[in-house]
Amino acid sequence: MKQTSVVCVCVCLALAFSAHADSRPDAGISFEDLRAFTDAWGFIRDQYVEDVDDRQLFEAALRGMLDGLDPHSRWLSADEFHALEEQTVGRYGGLGIEVGSYDDHLLVVSVFADTPAAAAGIEAGDRIVGIDDLELDAYNIEQAGGMMRGPAGTEITIRIRRDNRTDVLAMTLMRELIERESVSIAALGNGFQHVRIHRFQQTTREELERLVSNLESDEQATSGLLLDLRDNPGGMLQSAITVADLFLSARLVVTAEGRGLTQPAEYRTGPGERLVGVPMVVLIDRGSASASEILAAALRDHGRAMLVGEPTYGKGSVQTVWPLRNGSAIRLTTALYYTPAGDRIQARGVRPDVLSSATDGRKADTGDRRQREVDTAGHLPGSGIEVDELDELSRSDPMLADALRVLASISRMQVH
């Protein structure tokens, strides 16, 4: 029975390779290679130190095919695919924390109120060094972030290092349904508004448009808008384009070029824009990735905003998700993004117009060891505000204070 299952798998592989043989004459895959694959499959299944079944080997083969390409291509199990779909709508099973990737761990950026993470006492600044049986390192950080999501009611064990302790804290938590808005707003004084987009999901445009409408209907005009994209890992490309549509009238947002595209794909905004004439500054850092980089570059390239902060992460590749017939899916890198000015984002990132030397307290505590795309193994080559208020902001969030100074300066120039 075992031999039959191995033969069936290899026959399927042979048919798949044969189907592409005519179009891929340089593929270099022969039936001898397939026989070698069969031999390896049998040896592993029969001789590995622990029992391993054909399902494990089949899934490992799928993972291996995708993992060997680049850090962002991967096979998704049915559960992982379902979790990804939940994430795009802002409702998912998880712990209620926002994390950022560093060299060999995940850093807790923030903890949401009334969530399993908050109840367990997890704090911003904690370093997650292990999840269940997985020890985190530079090669599995991409996978590790998604592991904390899962069906509500399921358990997960995470291991944490905290600066004031030498031992590792192990915590077992029960995942719950997390519902999150992706946009928040705070007034900075004298009409300056601080709008933060935490991620791009299906509801982001609707959330931001509601806030913009409130600003436009306010009796006191908005003096300036500070759009904060720090630590925004990206998300849905279409969401970022619809956000750009609020501020750019009939403009190119991004171009995608890939081997499977007969011609470059251009993504544009429609006519009309909101908050016309209101000065805008976009705040970016090395945690700004993918869709947030696209939005920042588009606003800068079309002269709608100045960028303040530090160079972004540099993830300028397009991942397409294809569902498979068994309920799983593959996420495959299919193209690269180019800004309206024609600049490539991949492994380069977006540089700010004003480089901030400031770091907030969280970064100072960690020495700012977060990776950028170029550091990832296997990456693809390629003032209306009072002085005392500003001083206080400089102490609590110096990078935000830098951005506010630039915004205030632009506002003054427009007034005069």
Cα angle at 55 between 49 and 59, to 5 degrees? 95
- Amino acid 352: pLDDT: 96
Q: Active site includes 315? A: yes
Q: Of the residues 101, 315, 363, 397, which is catalytic?
A: 315
pLDDT confidence band for 324 (50 / 70 / 90): very high
Tokens of 333: 């890198």
Q: Is the pLDDT of residue 383 over 50?
A: no
Query: Do 63 and 74 meet the contact criterion of CB atoms below 8 Å apart?
Result: yes
Structure tokens at 169: 């804290």
Catalytic residue among 239, 290, 292, 383: 290
pLDDT, tens digit, for every residue of 142-197? Answer: 677 778 888 889 999 999 999 877 889 999 999 998 888 899 999 998 899 999 99
Annotation marks residue 290 as catalytic: yes
pTM recorded for the entire structure:
0.78
Q: 100 vs 332, which has greater pLDDT?
A: 332
What residues form DSSP beta bridges with 108?
Answer: 99
Q: What is the pLDDT of residues 265-283, one digit of tens each?
A: 999 999 999 999 999 999 9
Over residues 41-54, the pLDDT tens digits come to 999 999 999 999 88
Q: Which of 231, 245, 285, 301 is catalytic?
A: 301
Assign 395 to helix, strand or coil: helix
Q: Which of 338, 318, 350 is nearest to 72 (CA)?
A: 318
Q: What is residue 395's predicted lDDT score, i.e. its pLDDT?
A: 76
Distance of CA 213 to the CA centre of its chain: 28
Average pLDDT over residues 118-138: 90
Amino acid at 258: G
Query: How would residue 215 be classed by pLDDT, with cut points 50, 70 and 90?
Result: very high
